[in-house]
Amino acid sequence: MKILVVGGGGREHAIIKKLKENKEIEKIYALPGNGGMKEDAECVAIGAKDIDAIVDFAKNNAIDFAVVAPDDPLVLGCVDALEKIGVPCFGPEAKAAIIEGSKVFSKNLMKKYGIPTAQYEVFSDMDAALKYLETAPIPTVIKADGLALGKGVIIAQTREEAFDAVHSMMEDKVFGESGSNIVIEEFLTGPEVSVLSFTDGKTVVPMISSMDHKRALDGDKGLNTGGMGTIAPNPYYTEDIAKVCMETIFLPTVYAMNKEGRTFKGCLYFGLMLTENGPKVIEYNCRFGDPETQVVLPLLKTDLFTVMKAVREEKLSEIKVEFADKAACCVVMASKGYPGKYETGYEIKIADGIDAEVYVAGAKLSDNKVLTAGGRVLGVVAVADDLISAVDKAYKEVPKVTFDNAYFRSDIGQRAIKALK
Ligand code: AMP
Ligand code: GLY
């Protein structure tokens, strides 16, 4: 069997490594993949947003199944296009991917179906937004409607910052057309939990919960990033809370999407905040999270391809999806300076005998050497019997991966460990 994976980051590397456990899979192509994956997939220089080229590639290479991992191609209709030529896919069609592609859509969906989320207003007119902000409670949260590389959310701590955010999104268009419409919403507080789930539109199977660490620096300081590390499971996400989430959020969301004629099949990611008034949705993603996937999939005991096929065929209720009763920690190693300016082109070396998975995100091959080529370079992932051991082990193994200008947070998992105690 030949599989195509669209995307090229650490998340895709984790998906590919997990798929490889299935012995029926002879070949995996990654489009575009990256230079750090060469042992696990054949990387083909086709961009994840180049839908026509992806479709051509699938046609010419007798692809049996495709996994479309990133948000952009999903929102652009990559699954629709591949299915149209007869390639079965894991991932939602464009009309369902809109749950991430448009914050206005997802907020209105939650309001219509009574799914708990922050109170909000939508604006397409800048003056109206500015006027609203004159009396809105501060802090407030301002979100660009469309995809913005995970950067379209601004938490304004002062009224000035809020005005600036609106100007930059709606006037200066720092996020392009994504900022033509904006959502201004209530600032919520509480621990955050990421719950990735498999759904075929009928059944929802939440995966093991996780916690992202989005800020660049220790102590949750510094700028927002794509994620500097993760742990799973998330100790704040108790069985009782999981039950509430299933009843008030997960099932109602899948039901709502069906009602809207936008059945969601794939990985539906619930970004939740556990507030004093119960769990609320911060965001939906139409895909696996990055770097959540790097800690969730290593704990999946069931064959990933079997699950993906069951989702595609709407037979998820017929299989048992099991996770190991263990914990995982991912420490992201980045290029110093990220998410601002940084240098690349440094050789990445991984010591023999490293007792961790290394999922590579930003690397290229040059003269058979693997060189850094991005802000987030790779994730070092350790699995152990419990969270404390997983965190210890990850940090014990991190020094076995070296490249110049490497930077990583030293406190991934500490907040979760505190919660355990
Ligand atoms: P998002 O891109 O929607 O995940 O937002 C990025 C981050 O901003 C989230 O992980 C939260 O930490 C924070 N955030 C988003 N919305 C809110 C909100 N309504 N209240 C407080 N924090 C928020
Ligand atoms: N780690 C957050 C995301 O994938 O959007």
Ligand 2: which residue has its CA nearest to atom 2?
289
Enumerate the β-bridge partners of residue 186.
Answer: 140
Ligand 1: which residue has its CA nearest to atom 7?
153
Most informative mutation of 282, 287, 292 for ligand 1 (most atoms within 8 A of CB): 282
> Which pLDDT tens digit goes with each residue over 43-58?
999 999 999 999 999 9
Residue 91 to residue 200: CA distance in whole angstroms: 10
Phi, psi (degrees; rounded to nearest 5) at 398: -50, -45
Most informative mutation of 292, 296, 330, 412 for ligand 2 (most atoms within 8 A of CB): 292
17 Cα–ligand 1 center, Å: 30
pLDDT of the residue at 172 = 87
Q: Report whether pLDDT(152) > 90.
A: no
pLDDT of the residue at 223 = 86
Q: Is residue 397 lining ligand 2, measured as CB closer than 6 Å?
A: no
Which atom of ligand 2 approaches the CA of 212 most closely? 1
Which atom of ligand 1 approaches the CA of 151 most closely? 2
What tokens does 52 get? Answer: 């026509």
Ligand 2: which residue has its CA nearest to atom 5?
289
Which ligand lies nearest the alpha carbon of 224?
A: 1
**Residues lining ligand 1, judged by CB closer than 6 Å?**
118, 141, 150, 153, 155, 185-188, 192, 214, 271, 282-283
287 Cα–ligand 2 center, Å: 9
225 Cα–ligand 2 center, Å: 9
The residue-averaged pLDDT of 263-290 equals 98
Q: In this structure, is the dihedral angle defined by the CA atoms of residues 340, 365, 358 and 40, taken in order, positive or negative?
A: positive
Q: Report whether pLDDT(201) > 90.
A: yes
Q: Report whether pLDDT(179) > 90.
A: no
Cα 248 to the center of its chain, rounded Å: 22
Q: In this structure, is the dihedral angle defined by the CA atoms of residues 387, 392, 395 and 397, taken in order, positive or negative?
A: negative
pLDDT of the residue at 112 = 98
Q: Report whether pLDDT(109) > 90.
A: yes
Q: How wide is the angle at C-alpha 73 spanned by C-alphas 26 and 62, nearest 5°?
A: 30
pLDDT of the residue at 159 = 95
pLDDT of the residue at 280 = 98
Q: Is residue 292 lining ligand 2, measured as CB closer than 6 Å?
A: yes
The residue-averaged pLDDT of 262-282 equals 98
101 Cα–ligand 2 center, Å: 14
Q: Report whether pLDDT(150) > 90.
A: no
Q: Report whether pLDDT(345) > 80.
A: yes
Most informative mutation of 213, 290, 332, 412 for ligand 2 (most atoms within 8 A of CB): 290
Q: Are 205 and 321 in contact (CB under 8 A)?
A: yes
Q: For residue 151, what pLDDT band results from cuts at 50, 70 and 90?
A: confident
254 Cα–ligand 2 center, Å: 20
Contacts of 405 (CB under 8 A, 6+ apart): 335, 336, 337, 342, 343, 346, 372
Which ligand lies nearest the alpha carbon of 332?
A: 2
pLDDT of the residue at 147 = 84
Q: Are 63 and 89 in contact (CB under 8 A)?
A: no
Containing H/E element for 311? helix 304-312
pLDDT of the residue at 84 = 98
Q: Is residue 100 lining ligand 2, measured as CB closer than 6 Å?
A: no
Q: For residue 207, what pLDDT band results from cuts at 50, 70 and 90?
A: very high
The residue-averaged pLDDT of 154-170 equals 93
The residue-averaged pLDDT of 92-105 equals 96
Q: Is residue 200 lining ligand 2, measured as CB closer than 6 Å?
A: no
Ligand 1: which residue has its CA nearest to atom 2?
150
Q: For residue 197, what pLDDT band results from cuts at 50, 70 and 90?
A: very high
Q: What's the length of the chain?
A: 421
The residue-averaged pLDDT of 279-288 equals 97
Pairing mode, strands 215-217 and 182-186: unpaired
Supply the pTM of this predicted model.
Answer: 0.96
412 Cα–ligand 1 center, Å: 19
Average pLDDT along the chain: 96
Residue 217 to residue 228: CA distance in whole angstroms: 9
Which atom of ligand 2 approaches the CA of 287 most closely? 4
Ligand 2: which residue has its CA nearest to atom 4?
289
Task: Output the DSSP codes for 143-198.
Answer: EESS--TT--EEEESSHHHHHHHHIIIIIS-TTGGGGSSEEEEE---S-EEEEEEE
> Which pLDDT tens digit goes with each residue over 392-406?
999 999 999 999 999
Nearest to 143 by CA among 125, 162, 128: 162
> Which pLDDT tens digit goes with each residue over 284-309?
999 999 999 999 999 999 999 999 99
